[in-house]
Amino acid sequence: MRDGFEAISLARREEYLERLASCPQKVSDYSFGNLWGWAEHYGLSWRFGESHVWILQTKPYEVFWAPVGPWDDVNWGACPCLSQGLDFIRVPERLCQILSEAMPDRVTTTDAREHYDYVYRVPDMIELKGNRFHKKKNLLSQFLRAYDFEYKPLTPDCVEDTLELQRQWFSWRDPEESGALLAENEAIVRVLQSWDRMPGLMGGAIRVDGEMIAYTVAEALTPDMLVIHFEKGRPGFKGVYQAINQMFLADAGAQYALVDREQDLGDEGLRKSKMSYNPSDFLKKCMVSVAPAR
């Protein structure tokens, strides 16, 4: 099963996206931007089969991610790749159900709450109406009143400024947090440096007095849902995160019904922050263990 795997590559991006488009349920993990950004940190590689792409993680341990392709078209019980048994992580809820129904005596699933994607209604994020969003709207209003700002979409000529803001942002963090933040920083740099070779990326930036103080990076996950990969704001600008979130969606997200702001990875602070925006739904995931065929 581990033969034939190769490094995640930009050259096969379109081929991969065709397989992703045939998945019955799409979650943020399998967007190309996510795979490419985190490929080195997780040691990701892939193998293109006849109908599905198999994804293997090798760091810090070896485990498979969910196969990407038309899940409903497979006789999973007779799948040669699963005959010796296999463990998967980051498995979307729909595939968990399919595998459990196909092999009830061989499949064990474990809920993975830390990997749930947070999904929000784009109109809610743009309008910030009602008591549920009162604090967010107030912070946005304070930002709008306090600063002479300029918002523009991210374009290739903005990449160097975005990389510089990211470098500064990382330097301002607590060194004790540097493990997870270093990994994220490397993923962000990898994506930004590949901007002109990844046409699916989009984003926005806010400048004050000509200096970039916030940016966001996103891509379409489905025809009606965006996924936000990265979002950073400069300290000292009250309401900057509410501003970049609202302005980007108002500018580039209005054609989408939903926005996926990815998972919290079990971080309590991140979970509190994501819940504060009142998610309309979660894209649930689980771990799956398939026992060997008898």
User: Domains along the chain?
Assistant: 6-116+284-290 (3.40.630.30), 117-262 (3.40.630.30)
pLDDT of residue 180: 83
DSSP characters over 215-236:
EEEEEEEETTEEEEEEEEE-TT
- Cα–Cα distance for residue pair 38/86, rounded to 1 Å: 22
- Cα–Cα distance for residue pair 102/74, rounded to 1 Å: 10
Residue 12 burial by Cβ neighbours in a 10 Å radius (0-12, 13-18, 19+)? middle
- pLDDT tens for residues 30-47? 999 999 999 999 999 999
Under 8 Å between Cβ of 186 and 41: yes
Under 8 Å between Cβ of 5 and 155: no
Task: Say if pTM beats, i.e. exceeds, 0.75.
Answer: yes
For 23-28, what is the mean pLDDT?
98
Phi, psi (degrees; rounded to nearest 5) at 149: -110, 165
Core vs surface per residue 257-273: b (16+ CB within 10 A) or e: bbbbbbbbeeeeeebee
For 66-81, what is the mean pLDDT?
96
**Mean pLDDT of all residues belonging to the chain:** 96
